Protein backbone atom coordinates (compact mmCIF):
# COMPACT_ATOMS: atom_id res chain seq x y z
CA UNK A 1 0.00 0.00 0.00
CA UNK A 2 1.63 3.35 -1.01
CA UNK A 3 2.41 5.79 1.76
CA UNK A 4 0.37 8.98 2.02
CA UNK A 5 2.29 11.81 0.42
CA UNK A 6 3.33 14.34 3.04
CA UNK A 7 5.31 17.54 2.61
CA UNK A 8 7.47 19.57 5.01
CA UNK A 9 9.08 22.99 4.74
CA UNK A 10 12.22 23.84 6.72
CA UNK A 11 13.30 27.44 7.26
CA UNK A 12 16.58 28.54 8.83
CA UNK A 13 15.07 31.95 9.56
CA UNK A 14 17.37 34.91 10.13
CA UNK A 15 16.52 36.89 13.26
CA UNK A 16 16.66 40.17 11.30
CA UNK A 17 15.37 41.14 7.86
CA UNK A 18 18.89 42.15 6.78
CA UNK A 19 20.23 38.58 6.66
CA UNK A 20 19.21 35.76 4.26
CA UNK A 21 17.28 32.69 5.39
CA UNK A 22 17.79 29.13 4.14
CA UNK A 23 14.74 27.25 2.85
CA UNK A 24 14.28 23.50 2.19
CA UNK A 25 11.32 21.48 0.93
CA UNK A 26 11.05 17.69 1.35
CA UNK A 27 8.28 15.27 0.39
CA UNK A 28 7.40 11.73 1.31
CA UNK A 29 6.96 9.12 -1.38
CA UNK A 30 6.42 5.39 -1.61
CA UNK A 31 9.97 4.58 -0.50
CA UNK A 32 10.71 7.40 1.93
CA UNK A 33 11.53 11.08 1.95
CA UNK A 34 13.33 13.07 -0.72
CA UNK A 35 14.65 16.61 -0.87
CA UNK A 36 12.69 18.61 -3.45
CA UNK A 37 14.59 21.89 -3.23
CA UNK A 38 16.96 23.80 -0.99
CA UNK A 39 18.04 27.42 -1.41
CA UNK A 40 19.89 30.04 0.62
CA UNK A 41 17.23 32.79 0.60
CA UNK A 42 13.53 33.43 0.21
CA UNK A 43 14.15 35.05 -3.17
CA UNK A 44 16.07 32.04 -4.42
CA UNK A 45 13.34 29.56 -3.49
CA UNK A 46 10.84 31.76 -5.36
CA UNK A 47 13.14 31.79 -8.37
CA UNK A 48 13.54 28.01 -8.18
CA UNK A 49 9.76 27.64 -8.06
CA UNK A 50 9.45 29.85 -11.13
CA UNK A 51 11.75 27.46 -13.00
CA UNK A 52 14.51 30.02 -13.42
CA UNK A 53 17.03 28.63 -10.98
CA UNK A 54 18.75 31.03 -8.58
CA UNK A 55 19.22 34.39 -10.26
CA UNK A 56 20.11 36.64 -7.34
CA UNK A 57 22.74 36.49 -4.59
CA UNK A 58 21.35 35.56 -1.17
CA UNK A 59 19.89 38.66 0.47
CA UNK A 60 17.89 39.44 3.55
CA UNK A 61 14.19 40.21 3.56
CA UNK A 62 11.19 39.73 5.80
CA UNK A 63 9.47 36.40 5.16
CA UNK A 64 6.50 36.54 2.78
CA UNK A 65 4.38 33.57 3.89
CA UNK A 66 1.98 33.71 0.96
CA UNK A 67 4.90 33.68 -1.49
CA UNK A 68 6.55 30.78 0.37
CA UNK A 69 3.39 28.71 0.25
CA UNK A 70 2.93 29.55 -3.43
CA UNK A 71 6.48 28.35 -4.08
CA UNK A 72 5.64 25.06 -2.32
CA UNK A 73 2.59 24.61 -4.54
CA UNK A 74 4.64 25.18 -7.67
CA UNK A 75 7.49 22.92 -6.59
CA UNK A 76 5.50 20.06 -5.04
CA UNK A 77 1.89 20.57 -6.06
CA UNK A 78 0.56 21.37 -2.58
CA UNK A 79 1.20 23.21 0.66
CA UNK A 80 3.26 21.58 3.44
CA UNK A 81 1.82 19.60 6.32
CA UNK A 82 4.39 21.06 8.70
CA UNK A 83 6.62 24.13 8.58
CA UNK A 84 9.68 23.89 10.85
CA UNK A 85 11.46 27.15 11.66
CA UNK A 86 14.75 27.75 13.45
CA UNK A 87 13.66 31.00 15.11
CA UNK A 88 11.93 31.79 18.42
CA UNK A 89 8.16 31.62 18.01
CA UNK A 90 5.53 32.29 20.64
CA UNK A 91 1.85 33.04 21.19
CA UNK A 92 2.97 36.04 23.25
CA UNK A 93 5.41 38.87 22.39
CA UNK A 94 9.00 37.70 22.85
CA UNK A 95 10.86 40.01 25.21
CA UNK A 96 13.28 37.66 27.01
CA UNK A 97 14.23 34.00 27.39
CA UNK A 98 11.12 31.84 27.40
CA UNK A 99 10.21 28.65 29.24
CA UNK A 100 11.18 26.75 26.07
CA UNK A 101 14.66 28.36 25.99
CA UNK A 102 15.25 27.55 29.63
CA UNK A 103 14.19 23.91 29.24
CA UNK A 104 16.32 23.36 26.12
CA UNK A 105 19.33 24.99 27.76
CA UNK A 106 18.87 22.83 30.85
CA UNK A 107 18.71 19.68 28.72
CA UNK A 108 21.50 20.52 26.27
CA UNK A 109 23.70 23.11 27.97
CA UNK A 110 26.21 20.50 29.13
CA UNK A 111 26.57 19.46 25.49
CA UNK A 112 27.36 23.10 24.48
CA UNK A 113 23.98 23.45 22.82
CA UNK A 114 22.10 26.00 24.90
CA UNK A 115 19.87 28.39 22.96
CA UNK A 116 20.60 32.03 22.16
CA UNK A 117 18.59 34.61 24.09
CA UNK A 118 15.77 36.26 22.10
CA UNK A 119 14.70 39.86 22.71
CA UNK A 120 12.23 42.51 21.60
CA UNK A 121 14.60 43.37 18.74
CA UNK A 122 15.89 39.95 17.70
CA UNK A 123 13.72 38.40 16.42
CA UNK A 124 11.00 40.56 17.99
CA UNK A 125 8.26 41.65 15.60
CA UNK A 126 9.78 39.63 12.75
CA UNK A 127 8.89 36.42 14.60
CA UNK A 128 5.46 37.73 15.61
CA UNK A 129 4.62 38.55 12.02
CA UNK A 130 5.80 35.18 10.71
CA UNK A 131 3.66 33.32 13.26
CA UNK A 132 0.63 35.52 12.59
CA UNK A 133 0.94 35.20 8.81
CA UNK A 134 1.22 31.41 9.01
CA UNK A 135 -1.77 31.32 11.38
CA UNK A 136 -3.84 33.29 8.88
CA UNK A 137 -2.84 30.73 6.26
CA UNK A 138 -4.10 27.91 8.51
CA UNK A 139 -0.82 26.86 10.16
CA UNK A 140 -1.23 26.98 13.93
CA UNK A 141 1.82 27.13 16.20
CA UNK A 142 2.53 23.72 17.74
CA UNK A 143 3.24 24.28 21.42
CA UNK A 144 4.16 21.76 24.10
CA UNK A 145 2.93 18.30 23.19
CA UNK A 146 0.46 19.68 20.66
CA UNK A 147 1.38 18.61 17.16
CA UNK A 148 -1.24 19.37 14.53
CA UNK A 149 -1.29 19.61 10.76
CA UNK A 150 -1.12 21.90 9.00
CA UNK A 151 1.16 23.34 11.63
CA UNK A 152 4.08 25.60 12.39
CA UNK A 153 6.82 24.45 14.78
CA UNK A 154 9.97 25.93 16.24
CA UNK A 155 12.96 23.61 15.95
CA UNK A 156 16.60 23.57 17.03
CA UNK A 157 19.16 22.21 14.52
CA UNK A 158 21.98 21.84 17.09
CA UNK A 159 19.94 19.28 19.01
CA UNK A 160 18.90 17.46 15.84
CA UNK A 161 22.51 17.12 14.75
CA UNK A 162 23.44 15.72 18.17
CA UNK A 163 20.83 13.01 17.64
CA UNK A 164 21.99 12.25 14.11
CA UNK A 165 25.68 12.16 14.97
CA UNK A 166 25.66 10.72 18.47
CA UNK A 167 28.34 13.28 19.39
CA UNK A 168 28.79 14.36 22.99
CA UNK A 169 28.79 18.10 22.15
CA UNK A 170 27.42 20.25 19.35
CA UNK A 171 29.01 19.96 15.94
CA UNK A 172 31.53 22.56 14.72
CA UNK A 173 29.77 23.58 11.52
CA UNK A 174 29.07 27.33 11.81
CA UNK A 175 30.97 29.23 9.12
CA UNK A 176 31.43 32.38 11.19
CA UNK A 177 32.81 30.56 14.24
CA UNK A 178 35.88 28.78 12.89
CA UNK A 179 38.18 31.01 14.95
CA UNK A 180 36.22 30.05 18.08
CA UNK A 181 36.40 26.36 17.21
CA UNK A 182 40.08 26.27 16.19
CA UNK A 183 41.74 29.43 17.52
CA UNK A 184 45.34 28.34 17.02
CA UNK A 185 44.82 26.94 13.52
CA UNK A 186 45.57 28.82 10.27
CA UNK A 187 42.61 29.88 8.10
CA UNK A 188 43.10 27.29 5.30
CA UNK A 189 43.10 24.45 7.83
CA UNK A 190 40.08 25.90 9.63
CA UNK A 191 38.17 25.95 6.33
CA UNK A 192 39.29 22.39 5.60
CA UNK A 193 37.95 21.23 8.98
CA UNK A 194 34.70 23.13 8.43
CA UNK A 195 34.18 21.47 5.06
CA UNK A 196 34.88 18.06 6.54
CA UNK A 197 32.18 18.65 9.17
CA UNK A 198 29.79 19.73 6.40
CA UNK A 199 30.52 16.59 4.39
CA UNK A 200 29.78 14.51 7.47
CA UNK A 201 26.47 16.30 8.06
CA UNK A 202 25.41 15.88 4.43
CA UNK A 203 26.24 12.17 4.58
CA UNK A 204 24.07 11.81 7.69
CA UNK A 205 21.21 13.70 6.05
CA UNK A 206 21.54 11.69 2.84
CA UNK A 207 20.80 8.52 4.80
CA UNK A 208 17.52 10.09 5.94
CA UNK A 209 16.48 12.17 2.92
CA UNK A 210 17.09 11.05 -0.64
CA UNK A 211 18.82 13.71 -2.69
CA UNK A 212 20.49 15.56 0.17
CA UNK A 213 23.99 14.96 -1.17
CA UNK A 214 22.94 15.81 -4.73
CA UNK A 215 21.40 19.14 -3.73
CA UNK A 216 24.07 20.02 -1.17
CA UNK A 217 27.39 19.58 -2.97
CA UNK A 218 30.39 21.04 -1.14
CA UNK A 219 31.03 24.67 -2.12
CA UNK A 220 34.08 25.18 -4.37
CA UNK A 221 37.36 25.59 -2.53
CA UNK A 222 37.71 29.23 -3.55
CA UNK A 223 34.44 30.25 -1.90
CA UNK A 224 34.74 32.38 1.22
CA UNK A 225 32.70 34.61 3.50
CA UNK A 226 29.08 34.99 2.49
CA UNK A 227 29.16 31.98 0.19
CA UNK A 228 30.13 29.72 3.09
CA UNK A 229 27.45 31.22 5.32
CA UNK A 230 24.87 30.64 2.55
CA UNK A 231 25.83 26.97 2.43
CA UNK A 232 25.51 26.66 6.20
CA UNK A 233 22.03 28.24 6.00
CA UNK A 234 20.99 25.59 3.48
CA UNK A 235 22.28 22.81 5.75
CA UNK A 236 20.30 24.18 8.66
CA UNK A 237 17.15 24.46 6.54
CA UNK A 238 17.39 20.77 5.60
CA UNK A 239 17.91 19.85 9.26
CA UNK A 240 14.77 21.86 10.11
CA UNK A 241 12.85 19.91 7.47
CA UNK A 242 14.19 16.66 8.91
CA UNK A 243 12.86 17.48 12.38
CA UNK A 244 9.43 18.13 10.82
CA UNK A 245 9.63 14.75 9.09
CA UNK A 246 10.49 13.07 12.38
CA UNK A 247 7.61 14.86 14.12
CA UNK A 248 5.14 13.54 11.56
CA UNK A 249 6.48 10.06 12.25
CA UNK A 250 6.17 10.41 16.02
CA UNK A 251 9.92 10.74 16.61
CA UNK A 252 10.06 14.26 18.07
CA UNK A 253 9.27 15.82 21.41
CA UNK A 254 8.72 19.37 22.61
CA UNK A 255 10.33 21.47 25.34
CA UNK A 256 8.21 24.36 26.56
CA UNK A 257 4.66 25.19 27.56
CA UNK A 258 1.37 26.34 26.04
CA UNK A 259 2.96 29.63 24.94
CA UNK A 260 6.03 28.37 23.12
CA UNK A 261 7.81 25.08 22.48
CA UNK A 262 10.99 23.96 20.80
CA UNK A 263 10.79 20.58 19.06
CA UNK A 264 13.75 18.23 18.93
CA UNK A 265 14.35 14.65 17.87
CA UNK A 266 13.40 12.30 20.68
CA UNK A 267 16.78 10.58 20.42
CA UNK A 268 18.54 13.88 21.08
CA UNK A 269 17.59 14.11 24.73
CA UNK A 270 20.13 12.82 27.24
CA UNK A 271 19.30 9.52 29.00
**Residues in a beta bridge with 204:** none
Q: State how many domains the chain has.
A: 1
Q: Is 122 within the bounds of a domain?
A: yes
Work out the burial of residue 256: count CB atoms within 10 Å of its CB; fewer than 13 is exposed, 13-18 middle, 19 or more buried.
Answer: buried
Q: Quote the CA–CA distance of 180 and 26 in Å, as a whole number.
A: 33
Tens-place pLDDT, residues 110-136: 999 999 999 999 999 999 999 999 999
Work out the burial of residue 220: count CB atoms within 10 Å of its CB; fewer than 13 is exposed, 13-18 middle, 19 or more buried.
Answer: exposed
**pTM score:** 0.95
Contact yes or no for 226/58 (Cβ under 8 A): yes
**Structural domain range at position 56:** 7-268
Q: Is 226 within the bounds of a domain?
A: yes
Tens-place pLDDT, residues 51-95: 987 777 899 999 999 999 999 999 999 999 999 999 999 999 999
Q: Is 44 within the bounds of a domain?
A: yes
Amino acid sequence: MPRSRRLVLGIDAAWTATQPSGVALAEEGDTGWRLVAVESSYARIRERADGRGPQSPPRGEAPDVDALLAACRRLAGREPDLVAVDMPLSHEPIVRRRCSDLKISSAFGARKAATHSPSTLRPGKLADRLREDFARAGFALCTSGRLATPGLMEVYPHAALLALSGDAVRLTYKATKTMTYWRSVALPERHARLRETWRRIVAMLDREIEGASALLPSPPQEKRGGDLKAYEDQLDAVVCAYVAMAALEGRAESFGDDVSAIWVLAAATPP
